């Protein structure tokens, strides 16, 4: 999951981030991008210089540049906490990522100013008036290249009030994690296996089209196959198939094609290793051709799920229907039966 933090100065975002780091979350701050640029040009990283540089970067590269930069650094399958969301455009960038939750960390002006004085950072306001003036400048602005903290906070999915002890805050963070984890999303089996089929297709050596099939039984992959020339033959992308390398017109010179299809290779791989595919399902990135259709039927496969239609499918689909093989289309992101 990705937890984003927003909130006014000294609200405790850094403390929340540290609590999450102790719970194995990887930490990033959108301000890291600004600090890197400030150091690059040789400026002191004061709050004022960071504020001006952030606005300059947004003006030059777009209001979502900080979020785009940090999001590009995140890896799959890790939990992250990302601090310092200050623009609605930054939130919109992260909304495209799965399992993203924005949390607004809040505390009263008096508490926040007391914390500010206690941490005594160079460049921080020394009076309550100066503190509130700087805060107003960062909070409300109609210029999209400037910070718009209030608008950003209104986009938060959850609010975390940090007005008590560190122990109390830790308890609130734990409760919030429990709540967020209940909404943790996982891909459906169709999405899972079709996504794997897409990865398998990337191994294809065919120069015309990359196609793959994944055979599944009891939610377990028992064989995979991608299209390409037969075992031991020269790869298609090395000139092994004259028809593909001539980029023949679709549907023509099929009798000259030396490439085996993804379904064909998956079925023969199962046979090669002595694995029965009877009653299994096959996930195909492209709907099976007529030859592969006959192989699927005779192998005892009971279900075909395909992503993209093949324009020469009519006879194949009729044969599947006649022989009782269930066929349905699954497009990544939607299901069409």
Q: Are 88 and 151 in contact (CB under 8 A)?
A: yes
Q: Per mean pLDDT, which range of 163-167, 216-220, 252-256, 265-269 is the poorest?
A: 252-256
Q: What is the DSSP code (8-state) at residue 198?
A: H
CA separation for the pair 83, 121 (Å, rounded): 18
| Model pLDDT, residue 148 | 87
| Model pLDDT, residue 57 | 92
| Model pLDDT, residue 28 | 96
| Dihedral pair phi/psi, residue 159, rounded to 5° | -120, 135
| Model pLDDT, residue 251 | 67
pLDDT band at 165 (very low <50, low <70, confident <90, very high): very high
- Count the residues in the chain: 337
| 69-94: pLDDT as tens digits | 999 999 988 999 999 999 999 999 99
CA separation for the pair 258, 255 (Å, rounded): 8
Kindly provide the residue ranges of all beta strands, DSSP E only, lying in the chain, ordered along the sequence: 2-6, 26-29, 80-83, 100-106, 158-161, 212-217, 220-226, 281-286, 303-308, 326-331, 334-336
| Model pLDDT, residue 100 | 94
- Residues tagged active-site: 263
**Owner of token pair 């994690």:** 177
| 123-137: pLDDT as tens digits | 677 788 877 777 777
| 57-69: pLDDT as tens digits | 988 999 999 999 9
Mean pLDDT of 100-113: 92
Q: Are 287 and 306 in contact (CB under 8 A)?
A: yes
Q: Which has more confidence, 179 or 19?
A: 19
| Model pLDDT, residue 312 | 67
| Dihedral pair phi/psi, residue 72, rounded to 5° | -65, -15
pLDDT at 281 over 90: yes
pLDDT band at 9 (very low <50, low <70, confident <90, very high): confident
| Model pLDDT, residue 280 | 98
| Model pLDDT, residue 185 | 74
b/e per residue, 17-39, with b = 16+ CB within 10 A? bebbeeeebeebbbbbbbbeebe
Kindly provide the residue ranges of all beta strands, DSSP E only, lying in 96-255, ordered along the sequence: 100-106, 158-161, 212-217, 220-226
Q: What percent of the chain has pLDDT over 90?
A: 60
pLDDT at 193 over 60: yes
Mean pLDDT of all residues in the chain? 89
pLDDT at 337 over 70: no
| Model pLDDT, residue 191 | 94
| 312-336: pLDDT as tens digits | 678 999 999 999 999 999 997 543 3
Q: Are 283 and 213 in contact (CB under 8 A)?
A: yes
Q: Which has more confidence, 57 or 245?
A: 57
pLDDT at 207 over 90: no
Mean pLDDT of 157-177: 94
Q: Per mean pLDDT, which range of 139-143, 274-278, 299-303 is the poorest?
A: 139-143
What distances in angstroms separate CA 157 from CA 83, 130, 147, 153, 280, one per listed residue? Answer: 15, 30, 19, 9, 42
């Amino acid at each position: 999951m990705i937890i984003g933090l927003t909130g006014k100065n000294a609200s405790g975002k850094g403390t929340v981030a540290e609590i999450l780091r102790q719970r194995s979350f990887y930490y990033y701050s959108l301000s890291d991008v600004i600090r890197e640029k400030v150091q690059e040009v040789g400026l002191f990283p004061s709050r004022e210089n960071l504020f001006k540089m952030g606005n300059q970067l947004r003006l030059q590269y777009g209001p979502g540049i900080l979020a785009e930069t940090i999001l590009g650094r995140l890896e799959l399958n890790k939990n992250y906490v990302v601090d310092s969301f200050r623009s609605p455009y930054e939130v919109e960038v992260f909304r495209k990522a799965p399992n993203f939750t924005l949390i607004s960390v809040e505390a009263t002006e008096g508490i926040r100013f007391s914390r500010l004085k206690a941490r005594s950072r160079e460049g921080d306001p020394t009076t309550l008036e100066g503190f509130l003036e700087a805060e107003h400048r960062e909070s409300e602005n109609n210029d999209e290249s400037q910070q718009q903290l209030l608008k950003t906070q209104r986009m938060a999915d959850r609010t975390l009030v940090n007005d008590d002890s560190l122990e109390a805050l830790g308890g609130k963070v734990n409760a919030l994690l429990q709540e967020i984890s209940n909404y943790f999303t996982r891909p459906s089996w169709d999405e899972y296996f079709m996504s794997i089929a897409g990865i398998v297709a990337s191994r294809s050596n065919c120069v015309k089209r990359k196609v793959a099939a994944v055979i599944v039984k009891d939610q377990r992959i028992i064989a995979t196959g991608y299209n390409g020339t037969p075992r031991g033959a020269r790869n298609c992308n090395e000139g092994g198939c004259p028809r593909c390398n001539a980029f023949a017109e679709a549907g023509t010179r099929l009798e000259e094609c030396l490439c085996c299809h993804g379904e064909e290779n998956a079925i023969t791989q199962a046979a090669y290793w002595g694995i029965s595919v009877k009653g299994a399902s096959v996930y195909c990135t492209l709907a099976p051709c007529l030859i592969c259709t006959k192989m699927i039927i005779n192998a005892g496969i009971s279900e075909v799920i395909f992503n993209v239609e093949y324009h020469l499918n009519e006879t194949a689909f009729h044969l599947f229907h006649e022989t009782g093989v269930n066929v349905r289309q699954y497009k990544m992101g939607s299901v069409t039966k």
